[in-house]
Structure 1
Amino acid sequence: MRVGIVGWFGSDNLGDEILLHSLITCVRAVKENASFVVFCPNPERVAELHGVQTENMPVLRARGASERQVAVQRSIKSCDLLLLGPGTVFQERSPNLSWPGTLPMFARIIAMAKIAGTPVATVGVGVREGGTPFGRQLLRVIGAACVGVGVRDERTASHFGSSAEVIGDMAYTLPLPELERVDSGRRFALSMRPLAPELEGPLLTATSGCAARLVQEGWSGTFLPMAFGRGAHGEDDRVIYDRAFRDLLALDQTPLDGSQPLAGALRTWLQALATNQLVLGTRLHAALLAVAIGVPTVAIAYERKVLDAFVDLGLSEYVVPPDVDADTLYRKATQAAAATEEFREAAARVAAQGRVAQGFVTTLLKRLG
């Protein structure tokens, strides 16, 4: 079986690469000899990380757009199934996108698949908040054209209608290594991403204040860089580290540094993450993977998707808004660190939701042969 995957991969955002790795792993669990072609903004980087065939996204305004369209159409026709997602692929606008965002492109991709006779499904997708009536109607049309609609959360499901199935985040299916709990003292990790100036300034004050207080009390801390902004403006977490945390926290290694193949590097990264007794995170997948391995975590909901995920996992007590102050964040951090049993239970819920997502992929692939 040949499977096409369309998403925002290759910009050195660890969360996105984990999603792609997880989906490929899920497909191969059912179809061991499956081959892939991934349509993405940075195909060379995706090929390097994942060892799969890649194509550029079929955007209309790039140099060589007509040649891209022909290549994409040919590749879609070669596929037995085209998967949209995972991740927040449906966006009408964002800091890097003007309206109408990605929706027309995805509608065009579905039209190309229809012409090619290739069935289309969504897997673990999210819809960015702030949509318009036009966008909501187009999402209904996209959903109706799919043979399966697997979405990340209830809010996204409401955009697609009754055919949508909430399967959770595809990162929940990531195979976790055997983790040894090592008594390494009080350790915490912090994930912080660049944000709009009106959000970033106060949040940096809060996170650095909380981190400084933990360090003063004898905790040791690391900074988790989750994205490096390859081809994406304002996405390099190291800018935040240099601006506010260089003198306070050590900089963690990343699975994207090329020192190991991605799968092995992820195992090493997760093993290091498991040595923490606390994680504070704006990046969604820093927070979710910490929860998946049972590490007490406080998520900072800079976007609705972060709040949705923690509410769905029964962890609404441990998610805070981006205008949180340092004292409140510290109080939530110490509350979470003491709630180890709650987070063990949450890790079990993550594993259960991962089985739901794997089941969706399995059913879809078996139905299509």
Structure 2
Amino acid sequence: MRIGIAGWFGSDNLGDELLLHSLMTNVRAADPAASFVVLCPVPERVAELHGVDAIHMPTLRAAGSAGRNVAVQRALRDCDLLLLGPGTVFQERSPNLPWPGTLPMFARIVAMARTAGTPVAITGAGVREGATPAGRAVLRGIGAACRAVGVRDQRSADHFGKSARAIGDMAYALPLPTVPAPDKNRLAVSMRPLAPEMEAAVLAALTETVRRFTADGWTGAFLPMAYGRDTQGEDDATIYDAAFRDELDLVANPLAAPFSEDNRFGVVLDEWMTRLAGHRLVIGARLHAVLLAVTLGVPTVAIAYERKVLDAFTDLGLAEFVLLPDADADTLHRAALRAAASPEEFRAAAGRVAAQGGIARDFVASVVKGLA
């Protein structure tokens, strides 16, 4: 079976790449003979990381757009199924995208798939908040054209109509490595660049909290999740250089590794998750840093820089451990101490993640096997 996947992959964002890896892993579990072609912004990087075919998404204005559109149409004719997502692929506007964002492009991809006779399903995708009435109409049209709609959260599901299901984040369906016992005095921090006013407030609270933990004898690491390849304002190393260089070690993420036929992304990801699990506490303003930490049972405090972070922690029963970006250092420090002292709550949350991952896996299997 030939599977197309369309999403925001190849820009050196660890969250996006682990979602693609999880989706392909679960498709292969349903059909071991499955092959893939990924529609994405940086296809050469996706091919290097994951060892699969990849092509540019169809565009209207970029150089070579006519050739790209022809290549996509040809690829879709060869596919038995097209999956949209996972990740926050439906964005009407964002810090890096002017209106109308990605919605016309994904509507065009769906139309091209229908012309090619290829069924489409949404799998673990999310909708960024702030959709306009026009944007909501486009999303309803995309949903109506899909064979199945399984999205990340109920808020996203509400945009696609009654047939849409909330299946959870595809990160929950990742196969997990065997993890070590945590270091009792090890802290990990992850933070992304934010809008200037929000970034200043978050950094003020976070740097003071880190200072208090290190004064109490903790050691720490900074976990960059994105390196900003072909994407402005996405390089987490800028945050480390500006605020944490003197306090925390910098731990490279799997995207910094050299890749080969025998050392693909999934191998290095397992090694990185094993290191992450060795921390006693994680504080993060990156969605997939905090979700992976919870998945591994690590006590975690999340800073809700976007609604999706608040939704995820609330759904996992961890509402007291997610804070708004204007939380001060005292509030953040108290929440971090509570989390570190409550490992049993996070073991229970890891169990809820595992159950939700089963729902996501079953959804992928039902879509793939439904074509057999």
Q: Give the TM-score normalised by the residue count of structure 2.
A: 0.98
Q: For residues 250-279 of structure 1, what are the alpha-carbon distances to aligned partners after superposition, in whole Å with 9 as ceiling and x for unaligned?
A: 001211112453111111111111110100
Question: What is the match of residue 159 of structure 1?
Answer: 159
For 1:281, the aligned partner's letter is G
Matched, 1:276 2:275: no
Equivalent residue, structure 1, for 2:266:
263
SS at match of 2:99: coil
Paired residue type of 2:101: G
* SS class of match (1:368): coil
SS in 2 for 1:160: coil
How far off is 1:324 after superposition?
1.1
Give 1:248's aligned residue: 247
- Counterpart in 2 of 1:209? 208
CA deviation after TM superposition for structure 1 residue 300, in Å? 0.4
Partner of 1:330: 333
Deviation (angstroms), 1:339: 0.8
**What is the identity, as a one-letter code, of the residue corresponding to 1:314?**
G
State percent identity of aligned pairs: 64
Supply the AA of the counterpart residue of 2:201.
Answer: P
Matches within 5 A, 1:53-202: 53-182=53-182, 184-202=183-201
Runs of 4+ aligned residues of structure 1 deviating over 3 Å after TM superposition are: none
Deviation per residue, 1:158-205 (Å, 9 max, x gap) = 1111110110000101100111215x3310100011001011111111
Counterpart Cα distance in 1 of 2:116 and 2:59 = 18
Question: Is 2:91–2:127's contact at 8 Å kept on the other side of the alignment?
Answer: yes
AA matched with 1:138: V
How far apart are the structure 2 equivalents of 1:143 and 1:156?
A: 11
Q: Which residue of 2 aligns with 1:7?
A: 7
Cα deviations by residue, 1:55-110 (Å, 9 ceiling, x for unpaired): 00101111010011000000011100000000000000001111111101111111
- The answer for the alignment partner of 1:349 in structure 2 is 352
The aligned length equals 368
The SS at the match of 1:185 is coil
Mapped partners of 1:351, 1:258: distance in 2: 28
Instruction: Note if contact 2:51-2:264 (Cα within 8 Å) is conserved in structure 1.
Output: no
Provide structure 1 residue ranges, at least 5 long, that are not aligned to the other structure.
Answer: none
Q: How far apart are the structure 2 equivalents of 1:318 and 1:234?
A: 27
For 1:322 and 1:39, how far apart are their aligned partners in 2? 34
d(CA) in 2 for partners of 1:154 and 1:363?
A: 20
In the TM superposition, what whole-angstrom CA distance separates every residue of 1:197-242 from its partner, at most 9, and x where no partner exists? 0111111111101001100011111000000000000000000000
Letter of the 2:158 counterpart? S
Do residues 308 (structure 1) and 311 (structure 2) align? yes
CA distance in 2, matches of 1:214, 1:9: 35
Q: Distance in 1 between matches of 2:39 and 2:150?
A: 19
Amino acid at match of 2:145: A
RMSD between aligned residues: 0.7
Alpha-carbon distance between aligned partners in 1 of 2:252 and 2:20, rounded to the nearest angstrom: 20
| 1:25-72 deviation digits (Å, cap 9, x = unpaired) | 000001101000000000000000000000001011110100110000
C-alpha separation between the residues in 2 aligned to 1:304 and 1:358?
24
Structure 2 match to 1:317: 320
Moved more, 255-264 or 336-345: 255-264
Q: Which amino acid aligns with 2:141?
A: V
Question: Secondary structure in 2 aligned to 1:143?
Answer: helix
Write out per-residue CA displacement over residues 121-160 of structure 1, whole angstroms, 9 at most, x where no aligned residue: 0000100001100111111110000000000001001111
Residue identity matched to 1:179: V
Q: Please, which moves more after superposition, 249-258 or 76-85?
A: 249-258
Is the CA contact (8 Å cut-off) linking 2:77 and 2:117 kept in structure 1? yes
